[in-house]
Structure 1
Amino acid sequence: MVGREKELSIHFVPGSCRLVEEEVNIPNRRVLATGATGLLGRAVHKEFQQNNWQAVGCGFRRARPKFEQLNLLDSNAVHHIIHDFQPHLLLEHFSSTLAQITYLLEQIHLTERKTYQLH
Structure 2
Amino acid sequence: MVGREKETSIHFVPGSCWLVEEEVNIPNRRVLVTGATGLLGRAVHREFQQNNWHAVGCGFRRARPKFEQVNLLDSNAVHHIIHDFQPHLLLEHFSSTLAQITYLMEQIHLTERKTYQLH
Q: TM-score of the superposition, structure 2-length normalised?
A: 0.69
Aligned length: 119
User: Structure 2 unaligned runs (5+)?
Assistant: none
Q: Distance in 2 between matches of 1:116 and 1:9?
A: 49
Q: Cα RMSD (Å) of the superposition?
A: 8.3
Q: 1:50-105: CA deviations, max 9, x gaps? A: 22111100001111111000111111111110011000111113444899899999
- Aligned 8 A contact 2:33 2:55 in 1: yes
Asked if the contact 2:36–2:67 (Cα under 8 Å) also holds between the matched residues in 1, the reply is yes
Structure 2 counterpart SS, 1:37: coil
What residue number does 2:58 align with?
A: 58
Preserved contact between residue 38 and residue 95 of structure 2 (Cα < 8 Å): no
Matched-pair contact (CA < 8 Å) for 1:92–1:101 = no
Q: Does the 8 A contact of 2:41 with 2:94 survive in 1?
A: no
Deviates more, 1:102-111 or 1:22-31: 102-111
Residue in structure 1 matched with residue 99 of structure 2 by the alignment? 99
Structure 1 gaps of 5+ residues are none
**TM-score where L is the length of structure 1:** 0.69
Which structure has the larger Rg over C-alpha atoms? 2
Q: Which runs of 4+ in 1 moved over 3 A?
A: 8-22, 94-119
Distance 1:58 1:27, change over 3 A: same
User: Deviations along 1:34-59, whole A, 9 cap, x unmatched?
Assistant: 00000011111111112211110000
2-structure distance, mates of 1:34, 1:84? 15
Comparing 62-71 with 7-16, greater Cα deviation is found at: 7-16
